[in-house]
Structure formats: C-alpha cells, structure tokens
Amino acid sequence: MRIYYLTFPLFLLAFLSSCKTVENEHQPSLKTSLKGKFLMGVAVNDAQTSEQDTAGLRLIKQHFNAVAAENCMKSEVIHPEENRYDFTRSDRFVAFGEKYKMAITGHTLIWHSQLSPWFCVDKEGKNVSREVLIERMKNHIHTVVGRYKGRIQGWDVVNEAFEDDGSYRKTKFYEILGEDYIPLAFQFAHEADPNAELYYNDYSMAHKGRRDAVVRMVTQLKAKGIRIDAVGMQGHMQMDFPVAKEFEKSLLAFANTGVQVMITEIDMTILPTSKQNIGADVGTNFEYKKEMNPYPDALPDSVAQAWNTRMEEFFNLFLKHSDKISRVTVWGVTDADSWRNDWPIRGRKDYPLLFDRNHQPKPIVEAILKSVNKNN
C-alpha cells in the first residue's frame, strides 16, 4: 500500500506530461508542416529571448524553427564604442536559439543603419582612411562572428548595399572603400567562422535595378572565390508592392547564380503609404497625420480578407519554389511586436504579421497549413 501511495503520483505525473507532449505534437504547427520545404523563422526581441513574453514564447516554440536577431546584434548595440563591445543581449539571443534548437541567424554585420556612430569617422567626425576602416571592419567582424563561432548557422554579412536603380547606396562604407567593402566583409566573416553560412540581405528586391545589381555582385563574389551561401530577400511589403511576378523573377534570378534564396523579413503593412514603394530604409520618417492611421481600433473584415489573400499569394509562391528557398522568416511574432507600428510614421496601428495582438493565428496560418498538405 505504501508503495502504491508513493508511486501513484509519479505515474500520474508521467501520464500527464506524456499527454502534454501528445497534445503539442497534434497542435497545428508551421514548422512541422513545412519540414522538408524550408525553415520557418521569426525575428525575436529582448522580451522574447528573456522569456518574459510568455505568450509570444509559446507561439515561437510551436511554429518556428529558426530565429533572427531583430536588433541585438546591430553594431550600435553590440559595439557601442571602438574599444567596448556589449554582448549582454546577443549572448541571450544565441542561448535562446540553442535552447530551443533553432537555426540561428546573426543580423547584421555591415549596415549603414543602426550603425555605431564612431565606426566610420575620427574624433572630429571626419571620414577615417581606407586602412583604418578596413581594420575596424575586420576587428568588428572577427570579434562578433568569432564569439559565436560554431553556434550560428549564418550571418547577414552585408545589409542593404543598393538603391532601387541598382547603383551602390552611398553609405560611409562605400564612400571610403568603394565596392570593395562587400568582398572584404564576406572575407572577414569567413575567416572568423569558416563553417558559418554567409548571406547578402536587401529590401525591394523585386525592382529590376536591385535584381540585376545583386546578381552582378553575387557573380563577382563567386568569381573571386569568396563564400556566399544565400541572398536574403527582405519581405517588407505593402498592399501594392511588390508585384508577385516581379518578386518571383528576382527569386529565380538569385537562385540561378547558384545560391540559396531566403525570404528574410516578412511583414505586410495594411496602412497607407505616401508612395507606391516605400522600401524599408529605417532612416525614412514621415510626420503623423490622423488620416494615415485609419484602423486605430480594429481592421474591418474586408480589409483583413484582402491582406490574407495577398499574403497567401506570396506563401504559395514560396511553396512553389521551395527547392530554391532555405528559410522564410517573419519580422516579429504578433502585430503588437512589429516595427511597422512606428515606421515610417510613429504611433500608428498596423496589422502586418501572421498572429494578431491576442496571439491568435490569422486565416493565413490555416491557409499555409492547407496549401502544404495539398501539395504533399
């Protein structure tokens, strides 16, 4: 009898925890359904990596098998002064990805936005010499990539180097080093972690100008024998941009160069924009006007439906080309997490992601699951 009293609670515990596993296994899950097609990724913030956002965490564990650093690895955060790194947030991010066995993307090494103010200038604010900038890039990349060597699947090495017309963006890196800064960045990243995958990442990739420029750049890197594994097509979209056909053309053009394609930063704003293609330059900012914030309470059904239909069109495109795509990443878990609420106009209410503010999946989630099953 005594043994019974002792063992029964243990049996009960074991039974209950096995029920939980079974229940989780049967919950609809994007990552499980998309197995064999591509990784399903999400950008995570500090509230999630510290596990304070428990509702968000539940969705991350259920649906995603890849994580990207939304902000914590950008140079202004990780390398605030020339002789000071701050790995507090990035260490937590990497540990989080490992804990949940996710493919980890480091975002991003060389980028003109959220760039540490000291990076390209001297104490008087004047551009540093070519030699100095190369040395700084090398130290930055070697230190950051080296710290996480063997733990990160791949790095967005260079972010947003081109304009819509395909010309080089006139960043400080370009001003001082010309186009050489791109191969140098890839070379330094490869030296620091020879097994890490290396990516080039950009927005508005459906533009022919960018498409051609990126194809040229990837071809040149490959001709020089420099490692590049994938092109990341940021999926910051609007209801009227990009045109799916043009996006598809770019996807195929990138795949044709022999690299994988990643759809890296999906969100689709439903809010009005001042021009047809607003892009995704974080430096863009417009003044708040009430008429630019039409859905402060909720999204009318018809508008939500149009959003879901358009998002489904894109996911169907990704599924159609899943042999060329290694990862699809959404830029945040729920609508409340999205940077789109504050960009390019602060203080609006947007609805750009797959899960709503109550952590409920939108119809698109069901639609993706259905499409995958249909095609299997």
Q: Can you tell me the distance from the alpha carbon of 72 to that of 347, in angstroms, rounded to the nearest whole number?
A: 22
Residue 287 annotated as catalytic: no
- Give the nearest distance from C-beta 280 to ligand XIL in angstroms: 4
Q: Can you tell me the distance from the alpha carbon of 195 to that of 189, in angstroms, rounded to the nearest whole number?
A: 10
- The residue among 71 and 187 lying less far from ligand XIL, judged by its C-beta, is 71
- Give the nearest distance from C-beta 266 to ligand XIL in angstroms: 11
- For residues 206 to 245, the per-residue mask of contacts with ligand XIL, x marking binding by CB under 6 A and - elsewhere, is ----------------------------x-----------
Cα distances from 226 to residues 30, 195, 218, 251, 282, in angstroms, run 34, 13, 9, 21, 29
Residue 130 CB neighbours (<10 A)? 13
Q: Is 70 in the site for ligand XIL (CB under 6 A)?
A: yes
- The residue among 75 and 260 lying less far from ligand XIL, judged by its C-beta, is 75
Of 135, 149, 145, whose CA–CA distance to 184 is shortest?
A: 135
- The residue among 30 and 280 lying less far from ligand XIL, judged by its C-beta, is 280
Q: Which of 121, 239, 244, 282 binds ligand XIL (CB under 6 A)?
A: 282
88-99 burial, b at 16+ Cβ within 10 Å, e below that, comes to ebbebbbebbee
Q: What angle do CA 330, 245, 326 make, to 5 degrees?
A: 40
Of 329, 324, 282, whose CA–CA distance to 43 is shortest?
A: 329
**Of the residues 51, 76, 81, 160, which is catalytic?**
160
Per CB under 6 A, which of residues 98..157 are in contact with ligand XIL?
none
Q: Is 339 in the site for ligand XIL (CB under 6 A)?
A: yes
**Of the residues 135, 265, 287, 366, which is catalytic?**
265
Q: Is 329 in the site for ligand XIL (CB under 6 A)?
A: no
- Give the nearest distance from C-beta 44 to ligand XIL in angstroms: 11
Residue 265 annotated as catalytic: yes
Q: Which of 159, 171, 260, 334 binds ligand XIL (CB under 6 A)?
A: 159
Q: Dihedral of CA 11/14/15/16: which sign?
A: positive
Contact yes or no for 164/204 (Cβ under 8 A): yes
- The residue among 120 and 161 lying less far from ligand XIL, judged by its C-beta, is 161
- Give the nearest distance from C-beta 157 to ligand XIL in angstroms: 12
For the annotated catalytic residues, the residue numbers are 160, 265
